[in-house]
Each structure stands twice: as C-alpha cells, then as structure tokens.
Chain A
Amino acid sequence: MGDFIPDLSTVVALTDGTLRGATPLLLACLAGLYSERSGVFDIGLEGKILIAAFAGAAVGITTGSAVVAVAAAIGASTLFALIHGLACITFRGNQIVSGVAINFLALGLAAVAGNAIFHMGGRTPQLPASARLNGGDSWFTPMLEGMGRYGEAVNEIAFDQSVFVYIAFAAVPFTWWVLYRTRFGMRLRAVGENPAAVDTAGISVTALRFKAVMCAGVLCGLSGATLSMALNSGYINNMSAGRGFIALAALIFAKWRPVQAMFACLLFAFLSASESRLQGTEVLGFEIPVQLVQAMPYLLVVILLAGFIGQARAPKAGGVPYVKER
C-alpha cells in the first residue's frame, strides 16, 4: 500500500464516495441555512433527518412506491419543522431547547412506531427494489462505457448517482439565487438580521420565518430519504449517526453561505471517504491508527476555524424570538 500517486480507479471511487457522502450533509446544511438565515436556530436537523428516513422507509415498504415514500419523508420532516416553528416562532420558546426536543422526539417516535408496525425493534425490513432510488444505468450509459475507461469513469461519477445527489447539488445554485436574487431571499436575510426593520416595512416576520422553517423541513426530508432510500435500504435506529450536527458545523464553517456550504460538506465527505482508505496503511513504517484517521475531520475543522476561516458571525437576530410590541 505504498503508492501515493492514485490511479484512475482510486480517483473514481474516492470522488464517487465523496459525492455520495456529501449529499445528505449538503441537504441538511442548506436546510439549516434557510432556517438560521431567518433567525431561527435549528439544532433539530438530526431529528428531522431521522424521522424523514423512517417515514421514507416505512412508507416505501408499505406502498412500494419511491415517489410516495419521498413525499412521506418530506411530509414527516416538514411536520416536525412546523412543530419547531410553532414552539419558537408562535410561542417564542427557546430555539435550542425546542431543537433538542425535536431530536429526542424523532429518535423515540421512529423506534416506537417502527416496532409497532414491523416488530423488528425499531428497524424496518428492506425496501423493495421499486422503492429504492440508488441510481443506475441510463440510456447513454452504454455509449459512455463504449468510450473506454475514461468514459466509464465519467459515467460512474456523473451519471450513476442517485437522484438525491443531483437534487442536492442543484439546490446550491438555486439557494444562492433565492437568497441573493429574489425578494423573498432579501427579506429572509433581513429578518435574520433585523426583524424589527422588516416588520416596520409591513412584512410579517412570523410568516417569513414559518416559510423558512418549512424550507428547512423539505430539505431535511430529502436528506433523510437519501439515507434510508438511496445509501441504505430501510431504517435502522439512529442511522443518521450525527450527520445533522456535522451539517451544522459545515454551516458555521461556511458562514451561512450556500456555495461555501457545499464546499464545506464536500470537504467533510472527502475526509470521511479517504478515511476508509487511510485505515491500516503504513506511513514511514508506522501503521496509521484508526483513532487518528477518524479524528482528522474534527482536527481539521478546529485548525481551519482557528487559523484560516476567521470569525464566523451568525445572523444577528438568530435565537431571539421576535416580539412585535411591548
């Protein structure tokens, strides 16, 4: 394992793994972006991903339809987003507490409902092939594969992905456009910085924030569906394994900007994908310990945040419930 110059197949596998791994992160990260840019902190990304993953798997198994399953995932996650909105926007509760509650609620509810329906201790059986969205050959696959190994590589990386990968990466320019080129985006940014000014202009802060929270719900729904319907086949307890929190870290890393968020998620996913290759390899006669390899992403975040990225400033009104008048 001494070769440090990667060959084509290594590059393909690594790129492939990075794109796959970045997808759920990126969707969740953009979800957080909408919510937090409007001034509503969202610790509950993890919970929304989980409940969406569960709903997608459960409905996919029962109906056998991928479309219905994705709709269910988005629906479940949006419902949780609305609960968060109700608690933090309408009733002006503490956003962190509400988010933590969402996480616990999702974890517990998915396990209980899963056990009640499938009797497998909270996990679901496997999805039927018809309800999975894990990519595959398209009409031009044979053409690309006919173009030799580079054609195959292009096919593998660019055209053999699940539909969620395309949605996630298309959502980045879309979010940028919404945020910086539409009226809604301008108001969204304003309401996260200075809701009183938005209110004075005659725009409802509550309605704007609810819209933002629902955007977050939809994106988290897609993130959860990616986990249970594309990367895996079915739900397993706590299968998000902290991705919601890594997405939050990426969001801070990116200073709440969409394009930078994409690069942050790609970086995390790349480190995670290369981690499996670094494991057990020898450098200068020493075997790299698993622990070090796994700590790498976090070490890198600390180093980059401390030294290179500079201060990450959250939206000014983030975490503060808006009170119209005393």
Chain B
Amino acid sequence: MKKTLVGAAVASLIAASGAFADDIMPAVVYDLGGKFDQSFNQAAYTGAERFLEETGIEYRDFEIQNDAQREQALRRFAQQGHNPIIAIGFSHGAAVDKVAAEFPDTDFAIVDMVVEQPNVRSIVFKEQEGSYLAGVAAAMASESQAVGFVGGMDIPLIRKFECGFLGGARSVNPDIEFIGNMTGTDGSAWNNPTRGDELARSQFARGVDVVYHAAGGTGVGVLQAAADEGLLGIGVDSNQNGMHPGSILTSMLKRVDNAVFDSFTDAMNGEFSYGFDVNGLAEEGVGLALDENNEELMTGEILAAVDLARQQIVSGEVSVHDYTADGACPY
C-alpha cells in the first residue's frame, strides 16, 4: 500500500508539473467480499492490475469492511483528487449518487447500478444473457435432466442470473427439473460457504447434477460440494474453472475487468463518457469461460448448442427475459 501511496504522490507531482497532462489518478472501491473473492470483485481487481501493467499508471484501491465506509471511501478519494473513481457493486448506488453530486468535476463509474448524475458512467451487464448460455450448457451436460441454482443474497440482480439460467436450461429441455435456492437476505449471505455447501447437497439429494452459483464466497462451498460429490458446478463472474478442474463445467464470465480497464483507458485518453454502458453478449461483456480445465467437459455437442444460442441472442432472434424489468420470471 505504501508503494501505491508513493506512486500516487509521484503521479500527482508529475500531473501538477504538466509534463504528462494525460496522466490520471484512478481509484477503485470494492464491495464487501474484498478484492480477492475469486469472483466479482477480483474481476475488477484484474482489470485494474492490467491497466497498471500496460500503462504503468498507479491506482489506489479500497476494500470496504462495512456499509458506512462506502461514502467515506468515495469522498476521500475524490478529495484527494483521484479521477476517475470506480465503485464496484450495486450497493454503492446511494453513496455514488451523493458523492458525485458533491464533486461535479470528478468522473465516477459504478458497476451493476444506474446512477443518474451527469458525471457518472453506469456500467451494467446483461447477466441474463450469459446465464442463459450457462443454462444451455448445464441442460446439455445434465444426465439426470435436473439443474440447480444457488444465489447469494435474495435481491433482484441475483434473481436475474437465476431467471436467465432457467431460460437457457428450458430452451434445451422445456421439462427440465429446476431447483433454485437463495442463501440469505443480508450481507453475510455472500460469505457463508458452509451454507452454500449444504444448499448444493440438498439439491443433489433431489437429483440435481449441475449447479450454477451466483453467490460470491458462498459459492466456494457450492463448487466444493459439487467436486466432493463428483458432480458439476458452474462458476460465476471470474473464471473459476481452475478451482476444481474436471468438476466445473464452465464459468459465466462477467467482464468487470474489461469495464474497469476501459473506464481507466477512456479517462486516460480523455474519452470518458457518461450515462449507460450496457454490456451484453453482443458487446462481449458476458460469456462462458473455456480453458484447459474444462475442455473435456465442454464437448463438441455442448459447444455447438452454446454457440447457436449465442448467435440467436446476438442477432436478436432470442431475447432473454430480464428479471429486474418486471420482477417476474416467465420460464
């Protein structure tokens, strides 16, 4: 952290001298769960690290420990002259709304939430589309024709994952069995792997053989249960295929890393834009992870089905329902 501090100080000196007017002082504020959650926040961290590697521009970051720190962290970064400031996670919504109004000359970005301020870029993903592909893959891979979903906190965003996944699975087999569980209704639902393990096992006991999670740290337990039982899990947000090679069918990637990288790069080039930034399959903002860990699991048949579904969605032939639009899932 000291290194980053010094780096930031040096960067600000250089910026002040006017030698490199393009140099920026970016900052990231992660959500609860921390930057090494092997999932959502880590994707943001990966993007920021890639930016550091490619441009050499240092950034500051902060891992909040409780809700009260959201606003503090954002305001402190803004006061210190950091620009742009990216908040990771929908829970930062209210804080960004407030702080962005206080610092109209600072550029803000928020992931997974829409904040209507003139200096905020709202980066949202079409998780339903990526989850739809995961559902197609799960239904193709399931021998028992029963698939499951374990969500973290019971919020519309996570229902969106669930609904897209169900839509994909039902597109392969309209009668496929589906069991969906939510871990809890408060923040601890993101960090309860024992409960995730238990939920996954209760689904396995009812015939499920492929389980998809969107549950942060809780999902670690879900994937562990699948590996222990010799069944299949599907990871989320970051590429989790390597956690249990051979037991993770694929991971639904949400390219938060690209979103962070692009926001930093745009700011560096003076092209930072505001308003909506929607990332779906067409924009390659979501997708499935393929690597050496799951190439044997993703057979040609599955790949072909996934590819077909992708083309249908990109061309608009199939439109995946967005749960957050009406709070209902038609599948």
Q: In the bound complex, what is the Cα–Cα distance between A122 and B209 (angstroms)?
A: 31
Residues of A within 8 A of B217 (CB): 123, 236-237, 239
- B205 and A9 within 8 A (CB): yes
Residues of B within 8 A of A13 (CB): 201-202, 205-206
Residues of A within 8 A of B194 (CB): 21, 24, 227, 231-232, 239, 241
Chain B proximity of A153: nearest CB distance (Å): 12
In the assembled complex, A273 has its CB within 8 A of some CB on chain B: yes
In the assembled complex, A141 has its CB within 8 A of some CB on chain B: no
Say whether, besides A21-B198, A232-B194, A279 and B220 are in contact (CB < 8 Å). Answer: no
Q: In the bound complex, what is the Cα–Cα distance between A276 and B196 (angstroms)?
A: 10
Q: Say which size band chain A's interface belongs to.
A: 35 or more
Chain A proximity of B88: nearest CB distance (Å): 14
Say whether, besides A121-B34, A232-B220, A241-B195, A276 and B202 are in contact (CB < 8 Å). Answer: yes
Q: Which residue of A lies closest to B188 (CB)?
A: A241
Chain A proximity of B144: nearest CB distance (Å): 13
The 5 A-B residue pairs with the shortest CB-CB distance, nearest first, are A121-B36, A13-B205, A276-B202, A121-B34, A241-B192
Residues of B within 8 A of A279 (CB): 181-182
Residues of B within 8 A of A294 (CB): 184-185
Say whether, besides A238-B191, A239-B192, A241-B188, A232 and B221 are in contact (CB < 8 Å). Answer: yes
In the assembled complex, B11 has its CB within 8 A of some CB on chain A: no
In the assembled complex, A94 has its CB within 8 A of some CB on chain B: no
Say whether, besides A241-B188, A272-B198, A290-B154, A232 and B224 are in contact (CB < 8 Å). Answer: yes
- A273 and B202 within 8 A (CB): yes
Q: Say which size band chain B's interface belongs to.
A: 20 to 34
Q: In the bound complex, what is the Cα–Cα distance between A87 and B201 (angstroms)?
A: 42
Interface centre among B37, B182, B199, B205 (most CB of A within 10 A): B205
Chain A proximity of B7: nearest CB distance (Å): 19
Say whether, besides A123-B217, A236-B217, A290 and B185 are in contact (CB < 8 Å). Answer: yes
In the assembled complex, A277 has its CB within 8 A of some CB on chain B: yes
Q: In the bound complex, what is the Cα–Cα distance between A24 and B194 (angstroms)?
A: 11
- A134 and B198 within 8 A (CB): no
Residues of B within 8 A of A277 (CB): 202
- A20 and B198 within 8 A (CB): yes
Say whether, besides A239-B191, A241-B195, A280 and B34 are in contact (CB < 8 Å). Answer: no
In the assembled complex, B193 has its CB within 8 A of some CB on chain A: yes
In the assembled complex, A35 has its CB within 8 A of some CB on chain B: no
**Contact mask for chain B residues 34-48; partner A; CB cutoff 8 A; 1 contact, 0 none:** 111110000000000
Residues of A within 8 A of B35 (CB): 121
In the assembled complex, A173 has its CB within 8 A of some CB on chain B: no
Q: List 22 A-B contacts (CB under 8 A).
A: A10-B206, A13-B202, A13-B205, A17-B198, A17-B201, A20-B198, A21-B194, A119-B36, A120-B36, A123-B36, A126-B243, A134-B228, A231-B197, A238-B191, A239-B217, A241-B194, A276-B181, A276-B198, A277-B202, A279-B181, A279-B182, A290-B184
Q: Which residue of A lies closest to B205 (CB)?
A: A13
Contact with A233, one of B198, B199, B202, B224 (Cβ below 8 angstroms):
B224
Chain B proximity of A224: nearest CB distance (Å): 12
In the assembled complex, A242 has its CB within 8 A of some CB on chain B: yes
